[in-house]
Structure 1
Amino acid sequence: MTAADQQQRVPAEGRPAAFADRMRERGRDLFHSVWAPTPGSIRRWALASVVVNVGITVTGAAVRLTGSGLGCPTWPRCTPGSFVPAPHDSHSPVNMAIEFGNRLLSFLVLAVAVACVVAVLRIAPRRASLIRLAAVQPAGVLVQALWGGLVVRSLLNPVTVSVHFLLSTLMTMAAFALFARSGEGDAPPRRLVHRDIRTLGFVLVTAVFVLLIAGVVVTGTGPHSGDVAASRFGFDIETVARLHADIVWVVLGLTFALLFALHVTDSPGRARRGALVLLGVELAQGVLGYVQYWLAVPAVLVGLHVLGSALVWIATLRVVFMMRDRGPLGAAVPVRGEPDDVHTL
């Protein structure tokens, strides 16, 4: 008898009870993953933090792209006198629902952030590096919430909107660092590649962050303001778009140089594969950027471009982490000053 047949034989009145039992069991497992964590469960929570931070970045872009930036025209309330959407003459119910939904998503990001903090505090032995990285998450949510109020009160001023996006980028970086560090030990970092290649990796990270800054300038100059009342940067859109494209080519050149250097020096395979993945993501993002420009930046493609920017950022950070090693989990930490046959960072 198949599982499907067995399920069909379960009385209809028993199915809700069975479903409730499964939900309770999953809830217990979720609780234990935080209160009685393992290195694996901490790593999963860190990955969840990366996902929700990228998610709220993309949904934040969706708020702007649907013209819902002032769907909730006040802060911290949604409308004057109400924390939840209420009929308002200036905004449609759809716009209000989209903006309020994005605000609610902040609580999911906060919940995952708190889970990360509790998990790293509960595991034995405690790791100070993980505690510091996990603490960034709830602190970042608080800063973002307060800054979001400034975005609303400034009527979506492009400067405040741009900083809002860049703060999410930094939170994603901290979440990814927590994910990477939770899967390795606390030994002194050892370079797995030549020092100059490692330096090139840091230069690439800087270039990608500059690219993200250029991207928000283009966004703040372009047509998707988030609301008719929002102001725009006073730049020429073609000029800033071309500057953005020029930086894209610089990033691609640095990535190709990194990939070439990793191959000719016979660096670890995971680093070479990571650089190849990064190059592939960048090429896909570049093609998408040119297509959206040729099609007069349709909202759907802009949203995908925002997602692509987050993926490029994560892939860049991933390569940098792959170019050094801190030993396996649980390994004894060498005494400071102990000789080491591999150069440290």
Structure 2
Amino acid sequence: MKLPTDHSNPLVRRLFSFWAPTTQSMRGWAMASVVVNAGITVTGAGVRVTGSGLGCPTWPKCTPDSFIPVAHPEVSMLNMLVEFGNRLLTFLVLAVGAACVIAAWRMVPRRRSLVRLAMLQPVGVLAQALWGGLVVNTMLNPFTVGMHFLISSGLIAACWMLYARAGEGDGPARRVTHRDVRRLGYVLVAAVFGLLVAGVVVSGTGPHSGDVMASRFDLDIEAVARLHADIAYIVVGLTFALLFALHVSDSTRPARRAALALFVVELLQGVIGYTQYFLAVPAALVLLHVLGSTLVWIAALRVITSLRTRDPVPVPHSPVEAAATV
């Protein structure tokens, strides 16, 4: 019987590559998990800015009587479809996470470091789904909505680490630059996470709550927006300092390129942030800003993993390659 991994169609072989993983396909699935988790973060913001946060007013059912959208006298069908569509995307994220687990489990030799990182994905997705139910049951309380975003950020970090670790061996990590420069990188990542938290507070204080019934943080929007901007300045300053330190210390090209990419993404995100502020926070720019914050986070994670290296992946590293060596 012909296996999908032996199919003549390259698309079919890629879709089933988790069953006979190579280092390249393992990294491919890990990157796919980064993309889908980032994507559902943005679509979740889309639910909020379209006022569809309670489009499905119950959980796990969409309405008290149905798991799928049905006509409801108090809820717009459009809002219901938007919210239900975002819920369906959870299954895509879960499927990609499951593919990562299978690929990590079937790698030869099996690497426990990859299995552990891969397992964080389905566990995290299920936790996110349960937390989503809490978001609905608390009528979009800004704390639960904000935590929903931050949990996604944690999942993205786990997915990125799986991507990075899949391309290197399990030996001890070796820094590629001075230890103080690497410490600066860790401070930068912590500052970026602080920036995400501040952004969550701004979102929970300002407009676009997701529904007219949703509560807001009882804070001064001008004050929290200024705090968010101040932290952004600190992040940009730290990034510039890291970029300068990497260049003067003649660090590796991947590290310098990662820092430069982060710096550029931060500047673009700053343009979006100030534009949406002066235009009274239009919904489209909120979506773009959420996308930008996710890209800043991924770029920061890329920086930190570029500041160390390990020995190459041992071979053979997949069932197919193992068989080829016999």
Report the TM-score range of the alignment, normalised by the length of the smaller protein: over 0.9
Mapped pair 1:182 → 2:132: no
Gaps of 5+ in 2: 1-6, 317-326
Matches of 2:8 and 2:208, distance apart in 1: 44
Mapped pair 1:110 → 2:81: no
- Percent sequence identity over aligned pairs: 65
Which SS does the other structure have where 1:318 is aligned? helix
Matches of 2:16 and 2:247, distance apart in 1: 44
Partner of 1:314: 298
Matches of 1:144 and 1:188, distance apart in 2: 32
Partner of 1:91: 75
Deviation at 1:214, TM superposition (A): 0.2
Partner of 1:232: 216
Partner of 1:298: 282
Q: Is the 8 A contact 1:185 1:331 kept in 2?
A: no
Letter in 2 for 1:328: P
Give the one of 280, 285, 292 matched to 2:269.
Answer: 285
Q: Is the 8 A contact 1:69 1:99 kept in 2?
A: yes
Partner of 1:40: 24
Matches of 2:182 and 2:144, distance apart in 1: 34
Relative to structure 2, which stretch is displaced further, 137-146 or 24-33?
Answer: 24-33
Which SS does the other structure have where 2:193 is aligned? helix
Matches of 2:14 and 2:177, distance apart in 1: 39
Q: How many residues align?
A: 310
Matches of 2:92 and 2:257, distance apart in 1: 33
Mapped pair 1:147 → 2:166: no
Give the one of 256, 268, 273 matched to 1:272.
Answer: 256
Give the one of 178, 181, 193 matched to 1:197.
Answer: 181
Partner of 1:128: 112
User: Which structure 1 residue ranges, 4+ long, deviate > 2 Å from structure 2?
Assistant: 23-28
* RMSD of Structure 2 on Structure 1 (CA): 1.4
Give the one of 241, 244, 251 matched to 2:228.
Answer: 244
Partner of 2:308: 324
Per-residue displacement from partner, 1:164-189 (whole Å, max 9, x unpaired)?
00000000000011011111111210
Per-residue displacement from partner, 1:97-141 (whole Å, max 9, x unpaired)?
000000000000000000000010011000111001100000001
Instruction: Show the 5 A alignment for 1:157-176.
Output: 157-176=141-160
Partner of 2:48: 64
Deviation at 1:32, TM superposition (A): 3.7
Gaps of 5+ in 1: 1-22, 333-345
Relative contact order, CA 8 A, sep 6+: which one is greater? 2
Letter in 2 for 1:70: L
Letter in 2 for 1:45: W
Deviation at 1:331, TM superposition (A): 7.1
Letter in 1 for 2:41: T
Matches of 2:280 and 2:103, distance apart in 1: 46
Per-residue displacement from partner, 1:285-323 (whole Å, max 9, x unpaired)?
011100000000000000000000010001011011111
Matches of 1:233 and 1:93, distance apart in 2: 28
Deviation at 1:30, TM superposition (A): 3.9
Partner of 1:156: 140
- Which of the pair has more CA radius of gyration? 1
Q: Is the 8 A contact 1:113 1:137 kept in 2?
A: yes
Letter in 2 for 1:307: L
Deviation at 1:24, TM superposition (A): 9.0
Q: Is the 8 A contact 1:255 1:279 kept in 2?
A: yes
